[in-house]
Amino acid sequence: MARFVGPEGNASDGEKTTPFDLFKEWNVKGAIAAVVGDEQVDLHREITGGGTVLPITPETAEGLDILRHSASHLMAQAILRLYPGALFGVGPSIKDGFYYDVLFPRPITDADLPAIESEMKKLSKEKLRIERIDVTAKEALERFKLDPFKTELIKDIGQERVSLYGQGEFWDLCRGPHVPNTGYLKHFKLLSLAGAYWRGDEKNPMLTRIYGTCFADAESLDLYLKRMEEARLRDHRKLGRELDLYSFQPEGPGFPFFHPKGMELMNKLLEFWRYEHRRRGYTEIKTPILLDRELWYRSGHMDYYSENMYFTEIDERPFAIKPMNCPGGIIYYQTALRSYREMPMRMAELGTVHRHERSGVLHGLMRVRSFTQDDAHIYCTEDQVEDELKAVMDLDRYVYGVFGFKFNVELSTRPPKAMGDPARWEIAEKKLQNALEESGTPYKINPGDGAFYGPKIDYHLEDSIGRTWQCGTIQLDFQLPEKFDMNYIGDDGAQHRPVMLHRTILGSLERFIGILVEHYAGAFPYWLAPVQAKIIPVTREYDAYARELQAELAKSGVRVERDGRDEKLGKKVRDAQIEKIPYMLVVGAKETELRSVSVRSRSRGELGSHTWDELKSMLEAESDPIR
């Protein structure tokens, strides 16, 4: 006789049973699946041997994952009913939703999604039981003999037995678990479609990927859809065009073009970055974009990262375009004999790097092939490591606070494919953990996601509509100093190995600008705005006075434009509002006569008439982290 133990002290004895029967006996409500020991199972899965049996409810992260995966199967069944002959790739749950890759018998568009969603609702009302069967691989191959995608997956799994899930006429190769029947799936929405190569390989067929989402209740779904609509309005690609910041051209896929206003934004960001780094004891270097390929073998990048790199040849010597700045920084370190008196050495670099990204994953400024990393490499003694880590964390906190970001922190540990002695990794991980705990920084462990040369701390920023973005990172590296035979002379006159800290604050400068555009919805704070003030003459009669004011403000360091178009005042004001300019300065007959200006603030509305000196004082009082 086996004993099954549930929540709140519930227990039952028996040879075999199901979670459904146990939860019914224990009066446990709301379960859609169960955890038996360490395994997630369906409610109607027969279990033996006793052990802990806990409910999975739809509001939990595990429950939402099951709901969404079940919704992907529901969508596939609806597609099969509407498009007989459709073939299915994979249909996983993902963050905030699910997708399914489908080979349709004919092309479809976004206009077809409502019909698929409507069919899903019909299937939900049918409350079709979702069944699991375990079969041999041979039986599975026979069942899916007309489906090349499932056939390939079954062969790749390479197991004697596999599990299948079915509901009505639709069956799929799947590990599960799933909800008991389609009636559990009520609050879903299909969102978009895109092209996706089978298994991400450009040599394979192009499938149609349909994205959707599913929630436990209507309120959560509505909130998510409202957030999605807000995100659509904040899309940095759309706002980048409207605000004339940057563009993407077919001549340079994955390589952004920054326009004059985009460069104003970038340069102000860099001015702030350099100001803070000087204050905190950093010096700045610049290393070449092209370096001998042998360097990348020495650093380990050729073993771990070559598929993301670009290569060329110069004078019959093989070179690589750098995907990271670290090896160049090490070469600089080795240009002189270093002493313990120089430690810690904080060397910053705004280095342009290139990484090959597949065309299907390029996404505006968020995923590009060329970008600028706000790197720094700190070389220090082993007993300085934790203080340097805490100093970097202090810089992170300050910089993110300036932009109004909340953040959470992850400690990523040794990955399966890692360089160096595991014992050194343990020491490095412990030092990162100590620094986090001593600085009072809440964190969670992200097992196995460290860089190939060292564990790291990652910062995930939360923007104004609750989305998170991974930006800053701090990596503790014992490996590269060993590989490059880096040394310094200690106070004992002997050679010692430095410890190397890799860190970024903003991460990719281009990506950070994209995040800022969406975070502020294009309405940048005054200090960061590409155009801080726009002078609007009521008619062209007052353009000469507007030019005079423009020159005076520019002399004071204000980034100012003048709208000299022969347009009505209302249109010029509306256009300035669309451009999200912090201050609109209207000048007409009265202002020209009194040598004044009528001021309208983007955030505070009409501020009345002001003299030039009053206006300059008002603008100087605006917050600027560089002052």
CB 465 within 8 A of CB 227: yes
Q: If DSSP codes are grouped into helix, strand and coil, which group holds residue 70?
A: helix
Distance CA 109, CA 554 (A): 50
- Kindly state the DSSP code that residue 542 receives in the 8-state scheme: G
Residue type, 300: G
SS3 42: coil
Instruction: Provide the H-helix boundaries in 288-446.
Output: 293-299, 301-304, 326-333, 385-402, 422-438
Residue with tokens 């200090």: 527
Contact indicator for 212, 99 with CB cutoff of 8 Å: yes
Rounded CA-CA distance 115/72 in Å is: 15
E strand residue ranges, 467-581:
468-477, 488-489, 495-496, 499-508, 533-537, 560-562
Residues designated catalytic: 326, 355, 373, 375, 377, 456, 502
Q: What is the enclosing helix (H) or strand (E) of 76?
A: helix 61-82
Provide the β-strand partners of residue 284: 348
> What's the token pair of residue 30?
């709301």
- For residues 621 and 604, what is the distance between their CA atoms, to the nearest angstrom? 15
Q: Determine the longest span between alpha carbons in the chain, in angstroms.
A: 99
Task: Check: CB of residue 507 under 8 Å from CB of residue 326.
Answer: no
One-letter amino acid of 605: G
DSSP state, 37?
T
The one-letter amino acid code at 385 reads V
Q: Can you name the residues that pair with 88 across neighbouring β-strands?
A: 102
SS3 string of 2-18? Answer: EEEECHHHCEEEECEEC
CA 343, CA 486: separation in Å to the nearest integer? 13
Which residues have CB under 8 Å from 375's CB, separation 6+? 325, 326, 329, 348, 349, 350, 351, 502, 503, 504
The residues that bridge with 317 in the sheet, in sequence order, are 314
Instruction: Supply the angle between the helices 218-234 and 509-519 in degrees, to the nearest 10.
Output: 120
Nearest to 74 by CA among 177, 181, 162: 181
Q: Return phi, psi of residue 115, to 5°.
A: -65, -40
Give the DSSP H or E segment for 230. Answer: helix 218-234
